[in-house]
Amino acid sequence: MDADASEPRTFKLTIAYDGTGLVGWQRQPEGTSVQGLLEDALTRLTATAGVTVTGAGRTDAGVHAHGQVASVTLATRLGPADLQRGANALLPPAVRVMSVETADATFHARFGAKEKRYAYHAILGPVLSPFDARYAWHIPYPLDVAAMRAALPALEGRHDFAAFQSTGSDIEDSVRTLTEARLDETAADGGGTRLVLALAGDGFLRHMVRAIAGTLVEVGRGRWPAARMAGILASADRAQAGPTAPPHGLFLVSVRYC
């Protein structure tokens, strides 16, 4: 515990976590959150009350992260390496602080983010490996991957993505810019196929990636033509898009600040 604290400093944390069993990033009245675990660990480590950790994005329950970024201001003599080591000693194995850096006092993990990258994983095939069960959506029927790829260019650029935003969000401006929309295909364990939907943009709406993934699967099943994607986007109507894909296939990959 860091009883003899110094002047407050701002730190940038990069965090990885397995979202299985967690209520998501944001602290909730009930359940275990990533934010709550980090705040509790840093409070114990620095003997500082009221520690607030701000994340770049609020991942939902069951969603994972390779490179979530958070900012926190602490009055502590501990350096970045000691904070990383001490926090990881107090955190459960499902949450790891991958790096800690001293940041400018104005650094804000959420408002300073320039680009976020997400990846949604799905496994096509009759059998899902138990090692993929927590990290990919199992789709046991074939999909037309070429048609799914043909639907993606309509999403790139600056658009109103309201058609892919879940109801109940308090966000008023649903205009976002996607700089990349790509679908990769590789072999999966058990003889199946792994599909990875990679999306990058300046911001994402609630359940936006999962709604896009669910819509692409409808295209892949032949229920909708690839050209329908542009019309769904233009409609700004969530009812026109496909179902929301399950959370456990989604990963926040990285956040860029410059």
Establish whether 60 is a catalytic residue: yes
Please report how the helices 228-235 and 208-220 are oriented relative to each other, as an axis angle in degrees rounded to 10.
150
Q: What are 236's two structure tokens? A: 């700004």
Q: Which of 187, 88, 197, 190 is nearest to 151 (CA)?
A: 197
Q: Which of 67, 79, 110, 96 is nearest to 11 (CA)?
A: 79
Output the DSSP codes for 50-115.
T---EESS-PBTT-EEEEEEEEEEEE-S--HHHHHHHHHHHS-TTEEEEEEEEE-TT--TTTT--E
Place of tokens 């990846």: 119
**Cα angle 218-252-185, degrees, rounded to a multiple of 5:** 45
Please report how the helices 34-46 and 80-90 are oriented relative to each other, as an axis angle in degrees rounded to 10.
120
In the set 60, 160, 184, 189, the catalytic residue is: 60
Residues whose CB falls within 8 Å of the CB of residue 170, separated by 6 or more in sequence, listed in order:
none
Largest CA distance in the chain: 64
Instruction: Please state the φ and ψ torsions of residue 49, each to the nearest 5 degrees.
Output: -85, 150
Catalytic residues: 60
